[in-house]
């Protein structure tokens, strides 16, 4: 049973560029959430996707956008990158109707220079 997978593992971008991160949920899961984790801090909720729509959003600017595909996989897009966007980006999946238990992937480490 494959867990949550994310790609790429690491990424280095320059200020002002755009980036796309990808996530495949755990088998049987239909809901995907994205988090930003700065060094030494807890994960910060970005948004959640269910049935290909954004269901809930945290306090992140519109530069952060996402998409969910019919196979439940998801992408996180960040435009006009800032140095402060450097962080570990985590994807978590869950199954609607089965409580709130989320399972996390290993994350994508984004460095903006």
Answer for the pair 101, 37: CB distance below 8 angstroms, yes or no: no
Counting contacts by CB under 8 A, is residue 90 touching other proteins?
yes
Shortest distance (Å) from residue 111 CB to other proteins: 14
Counting contacts by CB under 8 A, is residue 33 touching other proteins?
yes
- For 92, phi then psi, to 5°, come to -130, 140
* Contact region with other proteins (CB under 8 A), list: 14-22, 35-43, 61-69, 74-82: 35-43
Q: How far is CA 42 from CA 13, 26, 28, 79, 90, in A?
A: 23, 22, 27, 23, 11
Counting contacts by CB under 8 A, is residue 71 touching other proteins?
no
Q: To which H or E segment does residue 8 belong?
A: none
Contact residues for other proteins (CB under 8 A)? 4, 33, 35, 41-45, 48, 50, 55-56, 58-59, 90, 92, 99-107
């Amino acid at each position: 049973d494959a867990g949550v997978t994310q790609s790429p593992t690491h990424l280095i971008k320059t200020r002002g560029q755009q980036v796309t991160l990808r996530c495949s949920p755990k088998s049987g899961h239909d809901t995907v959430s994205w988090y930003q984790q700065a060094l030494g801090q807890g994960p910060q909720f970005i948004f959640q996707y269910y049935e290909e729509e954004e269901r809930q959003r945290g306090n992140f600017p519109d530069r952060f956008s996402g998409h969910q595909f019919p196979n439940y996989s998801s992408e996180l897009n960040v435009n006009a990158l800032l140095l402060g966007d450097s962080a570990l980006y985590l994807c978590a999946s869950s199954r609607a109707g089965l409580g709130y238990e989320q399972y996390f992937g290993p994350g994508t480490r984004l460095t903006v220079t």
